[in-house]
Amino acid sequence: MKVLKDILYRVSLQSTVGNMENGLVDIAFDSRKVRKGSAFVAIPGTQVDGHDFIAKAIEKGAGIIVCETLPKDIKEGVTYVQVQSSSKALGIMAANFYGNPSKQMKVVAVTGTNGKTTTVTLLHQLFQDMGYTSGLLSTVENKINEEVIPSTHTTPDSLSVQRLLAQMLEAGCTHCFMEASSHAIVQERIAGLNLTGAVFTNISHDHLDYHKTFEEYIKAKKKLFDELSKDAFALVNIDDKRGKVMVQNTKATIQYFGLKTAADFKAKILSNTLEGLELDINGKLIWFRMIGAFNAYNIMAVLGTALLLGEDEEEVLKSLSGIKGARGRFDRISIAGITAIVDYAHTPDALENVLKTINEVRTGGEQLTTIVGCGGDRDKTKRPVMAKIAVTESDKAILTSDNPRTENPQEILKDMEEGVGPSDLRKTLTIVDRREAIKTACMLSKKGDIILIAGKGHETYQEINGVKHHFDDAEVVTEFLTQLNQN
Ligand SMILES: CC(=O)N[C@H]1[C@@H](OP(=O)(O)OP(=O)(O)OC[C@H]2O[C@@H](n3ccc(=O)[nH]c3=O)[C@H](O)[C@@H]2O)O[C@H](CO)[C@@H](O)[C@@H]1O[C@H](C)C(=O)N[C@@H](C)C(=O)N[C@H](CCC(=O)O)C(=O)O
Ligand SMILES: Nc1ncnc2c1ncn2[C@@H]1O[C@H](COP(=O)(O)OP(=O)(O)OP(=O)(O)O)[C@@H](O)[C@H]1O
Ligand SMILES: N[C@H](CCC[C@H](N)C(=O)O)C(=O)O
Ligand SMILES: [Mg+2]
């Protein structure tokens, strides 16, 4: 049995009541998961306050309570630990509980509005390809070597992070590549991690529902770099206007990557087509299977990380050149001479990048139809902006539902329509039902045309009122294009 005082190593304590030698069988931050002998950590949340469940946790057998405010009613035989931030304490306690796995592996966290999943997935594939056993924590899936563990968040809660890392270590993983979402950084889901390095891809409009202002959103991402140790590396996109801000207070060794500005890892795009990218990297001309200029940034982030981890440039480029990237990111489906592209672009910046890429690589003449929606219970201010980008950059746009969650899809679409100017109305359709929207786009397309289905990428569900219904953009478009092909 683990002992409380060991688990609290490096947690800054404000006060304690009771026996610090008490044992614990596990740690829980949800009273519903407490069992006899658990330590319960009370966290103030966005919906409720964990402190309101302390009595419930004790009733269920918790012998240790970690909290920010001590309850009035102190129970005999229970140990109370008061800390300034329970979520931070939880991260450090989780790391101690699982034996600090991140100290025995090389863990790299990637943050930024777009490109996190792509970058960590490429890194995982690259290191597997180069003969390492490595782990992955991402929006699409978590992986221990090649074993897939379903993912519920972009960055799991801190207990899950540490548990997964411990499992990775046990499976022989030497590296772990993980996404650090801004929510996770603010909520201290990565507290207690010993990072070998952190990467910044870019920052643009998203999640203002949660962070309230763009400044707060920048601050959230910057916190990752502020907290790196002096032995770590901070690899930053120099072409992003906030790149330097990210690392202005870091103790880590700063390195830059980019395409436009002088950088430690720099590339030039030689060609950009629907087949892939050709890059000039230090005079070497290399072909990659990834599509779009934004992926040149992701490739450079991956190359920089691999080199900072001590890998050989030639070997890295050889492997990287054959890698395809993450599911649902610029996935191409060609049937009946029509090209459908399924992409996870769910921010204005991502949508603009994907559409610009398509417009750069298309030959002209063909019709480009974009199907896009915006998620419910998420940043409302991006809705008109994304609709505007879709209609401006395409020949036809169909506004439809993404994951409405608890919102009325019609209301989300009304918010989106605000972004469509009068002159663009004639090329815009609004079809609430996503399946109908995809069907309509297929029926309006002919040989040579392109359909972009944006926003859901790898997702295989549509979340409506708390229920996830099976829905897969790639599956639906394949069904309708196949029907067209047969007629
Ligand atoms: C807004 C947000 O990020 N919420 C996360 C947060 O929950 P919360 O603060 O709302 O928690 P709460 O429900 O208020 O409860 C507060 C505390 O009381 C506890 N509780 C609650 C009820 C009870 O009966 N007993 C009890 O002890 C809860 O366990 C919790 O510790 O902490 C939870 C545990 O870690 C997360 O699961 C939850 O993610 C929700 C489900 C979510 O949807 N998060 C999204 C927005 C998210 O995190 N997204 C990012 C990616 C974004 C991106 O970059 O695209 C991600 O990393 O996935
Ligand atoms: N470096 C990049 N810059 C801008 N856009 C990008 C970049 N990389 C990918 N994208 C676009 O953003 C979409 C999401 O990419 P990805 O899943 O890699 O990002 P993410 O940061 O993991 O997103 P999330 O916050 O949802 O986890 C892609 O489908 C593509 O349209
Ligand atoms: N991690 C992002 C994913 C958005 C994906 C999009 N399909 C949506 O549902 O809005 C979020 O939770 O905001
Ligand atoms: Mg992601």
Q: Specify binding-site residues for ATP.
A: 112-118
Task: Tell me which of 327, 343, 344 to substitute to probe ligand 2's pocket, judged by most ligand atoms within 8 Å of the beta carbon.
Answer: 344
pLDDT confidence band for 65 (50 / 70 / 90): very high
Confidence of residue 409 (pLDDT cuts 50, 70, 90): very high
Contact 139, 117 (CB under 8 A): yes
Q: Which residues line ligand 1 (CB under 6 A)?
A: 29-32, 43, 45-48, 50, 53, 153-155, 157, 181, 183-184, 187
What distance in Å separates the CA atoms of residue 25 and residue 290, rounded to the nearest whole number?
Answer: 46
Domain chopping of the chain, boundaries = 2-96, 99-320, 331-486
Same fold yes or no, 2-96 and 99-320? no
Query: What is the chain's Cα-based Rg?
Result: 24
Atom number in ligand 1 closest to CA 346: 55
pLDDT above 80 for 79: yes
Task: Specify burial of residue 141 (Cβ count, 10 A radius: 0-12, 13-18, 19+).
Answer: middle
Amino acid letter, residue 279: L
In 50-156, beta strands by DSSP E: 64-67, 79-83, 106-111, 134-137, 141-144, 147-150
Q: Cβ(375) to ligand 3 under 6 A?
A: yes
User: Can you tell me whether residue 142 is helix, strand or coil?
Assistant: strand
Give the mean pLDDT of 241-253: 97
The tokens of 255 are what?
């390195």
The pLDDT score that the predictor gives to residue 213 is: 85
Specify the CATH architecture of the domain 2-96: 3-Layer(aba) Sandwich (3.40)
State if residue 455 touches ligand 3 by the CB under 6 angstroms criterion. Answer: yes
Average of per-residue pLDDT across 236-247: 96
pLDDT, position 428: 98
How many angstroms does the Cα of residue 187 sit away from the middle of ligand 1?
9
Instruction: Judge whether residue 120 has pLDDT over 90.
Output: yes
Compute the distance from residue 62 Cα to the ligand 4 centre, in Å.
35
CA distance 372 to 453: 6
Closest-approaching ligand to the CA atom of 41: 1
116 CB within 6 A, ligand 2: yes
* Ion ligand 4, residues whose Cβ is below 5 A away: 116-117, 139, 154
Question: How far apart are the two ends of the chain, measured CA to CA in Å?
Answer: 68
pLDDT of residue 362: 86
Under the banding of pLDDT at 50, 70 and 90, the label for residue 485 is confident
Read off the amino acid at residue 330. F
457 lines ligand 2 (CB under 6 A): yes
Which of the listed residues 346, 416, 465 should we mutate to test ligand 3's pocket, taking the one with most ligand atoms within 8 A of CB?
346
pLDDT for res 432: 98
Give tens-digit pLDDT for 169-203. Answer: 999 999 999 999 999 999 999 999 999 999 999 99
Which of 254-279 are b and which e, b meaning 16 or more Cβ less than 10 Å from the residue's Cβ? bbbbbbeeebbbbbeeeebebebbbb
Distance 299 CA to ligand 3 centre (A): 24
- pLDDT surpassing 90 at residue 474: yes
Q: Locate the ligand 3 atom nearest the alpha carbon of residue 374 and give its number.
A: 10
Chain mean pLDDT for the chain: 96
Enter the pTM of the model: 0.92
Strand (E) or helix (H) holding 429 = strand 428-430
237 touches ligand 2 (CB under 6 Å): no
DSSP 75: P
pLDDT higher than 80, residue 59: yes
Q: Is the CB of 177 under 6 A from ligand 2?
A: no
- 210 has pLDDT over 90: no
CA 446 to ligand 1 centroid distance, Å: 45
Centroid of ligand 2 to alpha carbon of 219 (angstroms)? 20
Residue 206 has pLDDT above 80, yes or no: no
CA 92 centroid distance within chain: 22
CATH 3.40.50.360 fits 331-486, yes or no: no
User: pLDDT (tens digit, 9 = 90+) per residue, 327-386?
Assistant: 999 999 999 999 999 999 999 999 999 999 999 888 888 999 999 999 999 999 999 999
Does 40 score more than 80 pLDDT?
yes
| 242 CA from centroid of ligand 3 (Å) | 23
Positions at the binding site for meso-2,6-diaminopimelate: 378, 402-405, 455, 459
As a whole number of angstroms, the distance between CA 392 and CA 372 comes to 13
Distance 222 CA to ligand 2 centre (A): 19
Supply the residue whose CA is at minimum distance from atom 34 of ligand 1.
Answer: 157
Residue 12, CA distances (Å) to 43, 72, 357, 464 in order:
16, 22, 49, 42
The answer to whether 65 and 40 are in contact (CB under 8 A) is yes
Whether the Cβ atoms of residue 185 and residue 218 lie closer than 8 Å to each other? no
Q: Which pLDDT score is estimated for 487?
A: 76
What are the residues whose beta carbons fall under 8 Å from the beta carbon of 387, sequence distance 6 or more?
Answer: 372, 397, 399, 416, 417, 418, 419, 420, 428
253 has which bridge partners?
Answer: 233
**Residue 397's pLDDT is what?**
98
Cα–ligand 2 centroid distance for 349 (angstroms): 9
Tell me what percent of the residues of the chain surpass a pLDDT of 90. 92
What is d(CA 428, CA 435) in angstroms, rounded to the nearest whole number? 17
Phi-psi region of 339 (alpha: psi -120 to 50; beta: other; left: phi over 0): beta
The three-state secondary structure class of 74 is coil
Amino acid 220 reads A
| Amino acid 88: pLDDT | 98
- How high is the pLDDT of residue 39? 98
Minimum-distance ligand to the CA of 328? 2
**Confidence grade of residue 212 (pLDDT, cut at 50, 70, 90):** confident
Query: Domain 99-320: which topology?
Result: UDP-N-acetylmuramoyl-L-alanine:D-glutamate ligase (3.40.1190)
Q: What is the mean pLDDT of residues 443-471?
A: 97
Q: Would the CB of 404 count as within 6 Å of ligand 2?
A: no
Binding-site positions read: 31, 112-118, 154-155, 181, 187, 189, 378, 402-405, 455, 459
Specify the pLDDT at position 205.
73
Over residues 248-284, the pLDDT tens digits come to 999 999 999 999 999 999 999 999 988 899 999 999 9
Task: For residue 207, give the amino acid letter.
Answer: H
Whether 343 contacts 457, CB under 8 Å: yes
Segment 99-111, tens digit of pLDDT: 999 999 999 999 9
